[in-house]
Amino acid sequence: MLLILLLSQIDLKHMCTQKVHSSSKNIFFSKFFFCHMLIDIVASYDTDTKDHLKSVWTEIIKFLDAQHDSKKILTFLSKCAVISIDEKDQTVHLGIPNDFVLSQVKKFFKKPLADAIHETYNKEYKLSLIAHPDLQNGHHDLQIEVKDHLT
């Protein structure tokens, strides 16, 4: 079990830092620490917190469905999830299962997702997209059945 945890931390470290093109050790450390912190936080959520995050994601998906192609939403957002909401920084953190999907979400949905957050959650909050490999298998506690919320 410990070996699996260590390997997952190594993979996470790689995913969280591979897009950083700065030589600054502080940026490397802060991104590495932030990703580990999110995984620790997600593991400690109670049922009410999980339900709240899933509810926020459901409303975002419904908002997007009214304006965008359902097939594209299903293709790129079905394994994503709201993994945290930072009240202090006023940020909704959206977990993306891998780097390819992250690049596609940035390309097709970055502005629409930010607009959806403003319309369905809070106009003051911003969007943060984070590679979160625990979402890859599609069976994470924070994921919803996106197709059930599309028309």
Task: Give residue-wise pLDDT tens across range 52-101.
Answer: 999 999 999 999 999 999 999 999 999 999 999 999 999 999 999 999 99
Count of domains in the chain?
Answer: 2
Same domain? For 63 and 30 the reply is no
Residue 130 has pLDDT above 50, yes or no: yes
Same domain? For 130 and 77 the reply is yes
Same domain? For 40 and 51 the reply is no
* pLDDT for res 111: 98
Same domain? For 22 and 53 the reply is no
What is the rounded distance in angstroms from the CA atom of residue 5 to the CA atom of residue 23?
28
Same domain? For 51 and 110 the reply is yes
Domain of 127?
46-149
Same domain? For 36 and 95 the reply is no
Q: Which residues contact 118 (CB under 8 A, 6 or more apart)?
A: 125
Residue 148 has pLDDT above 80, yes or no: yes
What is the rounded distance in angstroms from the CA atom of residue 121 to the CA atom of residue 92?
9
Same domain? For 12 and 66 the reply is no
Tell the residue number behind the tokens 């959206």, with chain if given: 94
Which residue, among 113, 146, 118, 145, has the nearest Cα to 130 in the 3D structure? 113
Same domain? For 64 and 38 the reply is no
Same domain? For 35 and 52 the reply is no
Same domain? For 62 and 114 the reply is yes
Same domain? For 26 and 56 the reply is no
Asked if residues 104 and 116 have their Cβ atoms less than 8 Å apart, the reply is: no
Same domain? For 92 and 140 the reply is yes
